A and B are shown apart, each in its own frame.
Chain A
Amino acid sequence: DAGITQSPRHKVTETGTPVTLRCHQTENHRYMYWYRQDPGHGLRLIHYSYGVKDTDKGEVSDGYSVSRSKTEDFLLTLESATSSQTSVYFCAISDDRDPAYYEQYFGPGTRLTVT
């Protein structure tokens, strides 16, 4: 998985509780991404980062926030989890040598269930 780990791998939480998912990379790549994957939908971008403390919104960012204080770590926070946020969450990274043409490499995923 290209030196990408995600934690936790599985989590069950209750509606209204805060949840933080962590993505850690050992590749020293500049770009990091959070996606969610749901049946009937392609992978959808939640937020992404193009450097330490530099982040931007993706397609489905409502209800999520992110932080990146170090190159290797990218955190995704659900401030108050809802059942609609039950999903599988993937982190991805990409090289910054030529951002015009980049492949993204994915982590193993976190399965989150909100009850």
Chain B
Amino acid sequence: EDQVTQSPEALRLQEGESSSLNCSYTVSGLRGLFWYRQDPGKGPEFLFTLYSAGEEKEKERLKATLTKKESFLHITAPKPEDSATYLCAVQGGTDKLIFGTGTRLQVFP
């Protein structure tokens, strides 16, 4: 059964304190791993797609990496506006997306 586990559930950082969010997955035939950002009361906003182990993508202070078992979302020198819930999802052989429960990130000035 395809499964996605995100950790930690919640993370509190001081502004400028870099850290990483983890997304562990089990899927039969990974076709894509997706990261989304979700602000309170809004729909998820697409950030990245990773297709194969070793791939990396960057956007501003965010960098996503992928191995055969997990993905990391690295946040470098975060700012308060990076506060949000970050969701990970995988697409396997069924073509449907399986989502994790997310990591709620709070960045304090």
Contacts and interface: CB of A to CB of B under 8 A. Distances in A.
Given A99-B95, A100-B31, A101-B49, A109 B101 contact: no
B100 A42 contact: yes
A108 B101 contact: no
Contacts of A100: 31
B93 to A, nearest CB: 11
Nearest to A9: B41
Interface in B1-15: 4
Contacts, number: 52
A50 to B, nearest CB: 10
B45 interface: yes
Interface in A41-91: 41-45, 48, 58-59, 90
Interface residues of B, number: 24
Interface residues of A, number: 23
Interface residue SS majority, chain A: loop
Nearest to A35: B99
B43 A45 contact: no
A104 interface: yes
A101 B101 contact: no
Contacts of B89: 42-43
Given A99-B95, A100-B31, A104-B97, A42 B102 contact: yes
Top 9 A-B residue pairs of the complex, sorted by shortest distance between their CB atoms:
A42-B99, A106-B43, A43-B99, A106-B44, A42-B101, A103-B46, A108-B43, A109-B43, A42-B100
